Chain A
Amino acid sequence: DAGVTQSPTHLIKTRGQQVTLRCSPKSGHDTVSWYQQALGQGPQFIFQYYEEEERQRGNFPDRFSGHQFPNYSSELNVNALLLGDSALYLCASSLAVNEQYFGPGTRLTVT
């Protein structure tokens, strides 16, 4: 049973560009959450998707948007990249209240 997968593993972008990160949840999991983790910090919640709709959102600007597909996979889009967007982006999936499994993350560097 495959766990949560994310792509790409690493990404380097220039300020002002746009980026799309992808996530496939653990088999059978219908809820996908995205987190941003700056170096040396705990992850910060960006948003959560369920049944293809954004169900909850953290304190992130509208430059951060997402999508969930019918197969429960998800994308995170960031527009007009800033240097401060450099971070590890983690995707997590869950089916029950007592679980949330994370993927390996995508390390984004903005230059």
Chain B
Amino acid sequence: AQKITQTQPGMFVQEKEAVTLDCTYDTSDPSYGLFWYKQPSSGEMIFLIYQGSYDQQNATEGRYSLNFQKARKSANLVISASQLGDSAMYFCAMRLYAGGTSYGKLTFGQGTILTVHP
């Protein structure tokens, strides 16, 4: 079984500053992928970034980077230079690749609401 924990119900950041959203995961499987999504009030889940468990380097996508610490089982999302449009709910999710399959479901955390202040 897998579990994702996001311990920050809400976070506040000043515009143009960086913010880190925490995510820890629990699995005994060595092969997995970690995803971050942004969900604005409209409801659509927007894919931000992906990290595979065997990836040697931390993933980066523009202003988003993933601080992957495998031994600590954490996959924190770092947003640099926050913008007002970054205000949204953010979800961390995990997919297992047990047995070599690649179609595992995504298991989501409870989410963190990020508010960016001008």
Contact = CB atoms under 8 A, between A and B. Distances in A.
Main secondary structure of the interface of A (DSSP, over half): strand
A78 interface: no
A107 interface: yes
Interface in A13-34: 31, 33
B37 A102 contact: yes
Given A41-B110, A98-B33, A98-B50, A88 B43 contact: yes
Nearest to B109: A42
Q: Which of B46, B93, B105 has the most CB of A within 10 A?
A: B105
Interface residues of B, number: 26
Bin chain A's interface residue count: 20 to 34
Contact of A99 (B43, B50, B91): B50
Contacts of A90: 45
Contacts of B106: 33, 35, 43, 45, 92, 100
A35 B45 CA distance: 11
Contacts of A96: 102
Contacts of A99: 47, 50
B47 A100 contact: yes
B68 interface: no
A97 interface: yes
Contacts of A44: 108
Interface centre among B4, B50, B106 (most CB of A within 10 A): B106
B43 A104 contact: yes
Contact of B45 (A41, A43, A48, A97): A43
Nearest to B102: A97
Contacts of A8: none
A81 to B, nearest CB: 20
A14 to B, nearest CB: 23
13 contacts: A31-B103, A43-B91, A48-B103, A56-B103, A56-B104, A56-B105, A96-B102, A97-B52, A98-B33, A101-B47, A102-B46, A104-B44, A105-B45
